[in-house]
């Protein structure tokens, strides 16, 4: 016996939140979007800030026409617009009625999962950057006999003088530049 659509969505939502990064979350979003809607292909476009950053697709022939049905859904949360999820079918009227409503609910779950994955990736990047900055600061302290505050100021000034981010300059110092 097949479970109800709402029970299936609840299970899928749990799976979406198990992913640890944006790319793997998108892969799961695409796979389940096709399964839920019966689509032959799906795409996700993420739009951080003002530009399109990445696009994923399940079918390389999306550039060719021939789709008789397309359903595009906003991926957004109350705080931010994330992008769009689109599903494609060669069958006419493939996404009417209940399928479209189910897809809308799924898109909300997908948006929350993607927002969480983006936030987690950002935090992971920040922790890695902080770690490298600390290493570079320690290297400067050792090389020049500086205290922590002066070493950090030196690192910041070197980054500014070279026109690079603090973490980029720190990576260079750690690499021996």
**77-103, pLDDT tens digit by residue?**
988 888 999 999 888 888 988 899 999
Question: Which of 12-21, 62-71, 120-129, 167-176 is predicted with the least confidence, judged by mean pLDDT?
Answer: 62-71
In the 8-state DSSP scheme, what is residue 21?
Answer: S
Closest CA to 126 of 83, 174, 177, 166: 166
Report pLDDT for 149: 93
Q: pTM of the entire structure?
A: 0.69
Q: What share of the chain is helix, strand, coil (3-state, %, to 5)?
A: 60, 15, 25
How do residues 63-76 score in pLDDT, each as one tens digit? Answer: 566 788 889 999 99
For residues 149-159, give the mean pLDDT: 92
* Structural domains of the chain sorted by starting position, each given as residue range(s) with its CATH number in brackets: 5-119 (3.30.450.40), 124-174 (1.10.10.10)
Report pLDDT for 50: 47
Q: How far apart are CA 29 and CA 42, in angstroms?
A: 9
Residues, the chain: 177
By the 8 A CB rule, do 42 and 56 touch? no
- Phi, psi angle pair for 53, to nearest 5°: -95, -45
């Amino acid at each position: 016996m097949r479970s109800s659509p709402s029970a299936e969505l609840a299970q899928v939502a749990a799976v979406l939140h198990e992913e640890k990064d944006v790319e793997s979350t998108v892969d799961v979003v695409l796979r389940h979007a096709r399964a839920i809607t019966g689509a032959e292909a799906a795409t996700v476009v993420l739009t951080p800030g003002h530009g399109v950053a990445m696009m994923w697709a399940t079918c390389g022939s999306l550039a060719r026409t021939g789709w008789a049905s397309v359903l595009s859904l906003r991926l957004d949360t109350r705080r931010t617009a994330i992008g769009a999820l689109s599903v494609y079918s060669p069958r006419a009227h493939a996404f009417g009625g209940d399928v479209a409503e189910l897809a809308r609910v799924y898109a909300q779950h997908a948006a929350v999962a993607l927002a969480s994955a983006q936030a987690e990736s950002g935090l992971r990047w920040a922790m890695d950057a902080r770690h490298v900055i600390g290493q570079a600061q320690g290297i400067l302290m050792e090389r020049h006999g500086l205290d922590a505050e002066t070493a950090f100021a030196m690192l910041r000034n070197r980054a500014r003088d070279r026109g690079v981010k603090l973490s980029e300059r720190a990576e260079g110092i750690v690499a021996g530049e």
